[in-house]
Amino acid sequence: MSYSLLQWYERLLTQLWSDDLRNIQGLRRWIIIPVRLFVVVVRQLLKGELNLRAMSLVYTTLLSIVPLLAVSFSVLKGFGVHNQIEPLLLNFLAPLGPKGEELSANIISFVENIRVGVLGSLGLALLFYTVVSLIQKVESTFNYVWQVEHLRGIAQRFSNYLSVILIGPVLVFTALGVTATALNHSLVQQLMTVEPFGYLIVATTRLLPYLLVIAAFTFIYMFIPNTRVRLFPAVVGGLVAGVLWQSSGWAFAAFIASSSKYAAIYSGFAILILLLIWLYLNWLILLLGAQVAFFVQYPQYMTRQPVQLHLSSRLRERLALQIMFMVAERHLRAGDPWTADELVHHLGLPMQPIHNVLQLMVKSGFLSLTADEPPAYLPRRDIETITLRELYEVVRSAGENRLLTLQTLPHQAEVERAMRAVQQAVESQLDDVTLRDLVEKKDAAI
């Protein structure tokens, strides 16, 4: 009997993981994808890295929450809606129970005590730096989820972060105000007396917190990572995270109501401990939603074993030549140069391997970055002077340093002869072939 169960289990695993998702169609696809997605997301959670990054963000949040609210308070004060911060903060801390109201009042008190005029230029700069560091830390964490190894450029980071800090709060409270005004409009009030419109409006009102949270998370997943995130994966991630976030608020409130022993054990520190736990849960849910969005955008990484994105020498050579060919072809046709996001979208690969190859090409003097936002890539030299042999040698020697080179390895005569034969074969086949020749061969084939 146990043997039959084992056979059934192995058959189930084979059905779940053996096929490429791109080749699965119909109902079977819609069954397998959610199951695979659940398994790989849980696997990422059990791996522990998301937990550690969520804990790190909790620490950064504690340092930044008062400066962040102070900046938002100053901006919103100019629009006359600064008094709406306290209800929003109170709603966020509502799962903490009565202590949440006390904590919210204390935080608002700290914010109101900050006098920008007294801070001076240095204090104001430190205030903004604390806020920017929080967003930068969030971007770094999201980049880990999306397997991107670099942050935005300084200019792009400055403009984007200021947009979030200065314009974000205005848009949020404008949306809330428009929603409240629409619900109080006389036409809407009249419609509520007519069924089924009344039922639909009430149901929409109840769903509104979910919809606003899902919309906010979707925006975060599209805006924060330093890579191109498509709308549908971001919406799926926002939907999962939004439902978890709202549901966790109810569960946490029930937990607080039934855990009176915390106050007896931790005394005055109980509220701080509970705040740390609540912040950790929120950041973890946000990161889980980002992980869901990543796997939805790149379903080829939903595999039985985790996919390692370390390129082999063969793949690195192929990818480098492919990218250089694409850049050279655009340049020769006087087209718009490729950006990193466009290359990611066109090649269907995550940012990490493409960025590594681009960085290698820039460092080796084959490509240069434009001053545009986002920056694009152009040949740094005439494509008639870039030979395939040069590219091959650069890619082969990537990663070597002064402590580990060909000279530091032991020399064996037989091995040297074999390697020399490989080198001569490469030179004889690729020495005179340039990037321009490669592009023109494509034209000749057409």
CATH of residue 364: 1.10.10.10
Give the least confident one: 11-15, 31-35, 315-319, 427-431.
Answer: 11-15
State residue 109's pLDDT score: 73
Percentage of the chain exceeding pLDDT 90: 8
Strand partners, 404: 401
Q: What is the pLDDT of residue 1?
A: 45
- Dist CA 397 CA 399 (whole Å): 6
For helices 116-145 and 270-297, angle between their N-to-C axes, nearest 10 degrees:
50
Contacts of 337 (CB under 8 A, 6+ apart): 327, 330, 331, 370, 376, 377, 378
pLDDT of residue 74: 66
d(CA 198, CA 196): 5
435 lies in the same domain as 322? yes
User: Is the pLDDT reported for residue 91 higher than 80?
Assistant: no
Q: 63 or 179: which carries more pLDDT confidence?
A: 63
90 pLDDT higher than 80: no
385-416 pLDDT per residue, tens? 888 888 888 888 887 766 666 667 777 788 77
- The angle subtended at Cα 61 by Cα 131 and Cα 237, nearest 5°, is 100
What phi and psi values does residue 377 have, to the nearest 5 degrees? -115, 130
Distance CA 174, CA 212 (A): 12
**Residue at a domain's end among 274, 301, 328:** 301
User: Are residues 101 and 223 located together in one domain of the fold?
Assistant: yes
The answer on 410 and 354 residing in a single domain is: yes
Which residue, 270, 301, 332, sits at the end of a domain? 301
Residue at 306 is within a domain: no
Q: Are 106 and 66 in contact (CB under 8 A)?
A: no
Tokens 């973890």 found at: 284
Residues 110 and 69 placed together within one structural domain of the fold: yes
Prior bond of 67 cis (ω within 30°)? no
Round to whole Å and give the CA distance between 172 and 184: 19
Tell me, yes or no, whether 69 and 29 share the same domain: no
Residue 138 lies in a domain: yes
Contact 170, 76 (CB under 8 A): yes
Residue 131 — left, alpha, or beta (φ > 0 → left; ψ -120 to 50 → alpha)?
alpha
pLDDT category at 157 given cuts 50, 70, 90 is low
Same domain, 34 and 80: no
Structural domain includes residue 308: no
Among 242-246, 297-301, 302-306, 320-324, the range with the most confident prediction by mean pLDDT is 320-324
Please tell me the predicted confidence (pLDDT) of residue 3. 52
Q: How many domains does the chain have?
A: 3
The CB-based long-range contact list for 108-114 (8 Å cut-off, 24+ gap) reads 108/69, 110/66, 111/66, 111/69, 111/70, 111/73, 111/85, 112/73, 114/66, 114/67, 114/70
pLDDT for 427: 76
Mean pLDDT of 41-58: 88
Same domain, 37 and 52: no
**Residue ending a domain, choose from 301, 324, 357:** 301
Q: Confirm whether 121 is domain-assigned.
A: yes
The dihedral through the CA atoms of 223, 227, 231, 236 has a sign that is negative
pTM over 0.75: no
Distance (Å, whole) CA 119 – CA 126:
9
Structural domain containing residue 13: 2-46
Same domain, 432 and 349: yes
Same domain for 91 and 238, yes or no, is yes
216 vs 242: CA distance, rounded Å? 9
State whether 108 and 253 are in the same domain.
yes
Residue 158 lies in a domain: yes
Average pLDDT for the chain: 75
Domain assignment of residue 346, yes or no: yes
Using a pLDDT cut of 70, give the percent of the chain over it: 63
User: Quick one: 88 and 206 in the same domain?
Assistant: yes
> For 237-296, what is the HEC assignment?
HHHHHHHHHHHHHHHHHHHHHCCCHHHHHHHHHHHHHHHHHHHHHHHHHHHHHHHHHHHH
Q: Assess whether 32 and 57 both reside in one domain.
A: no
Query: How far is residue 215's CA from residue 207's CA, in Å, rounded to a whole number?
Result: 12
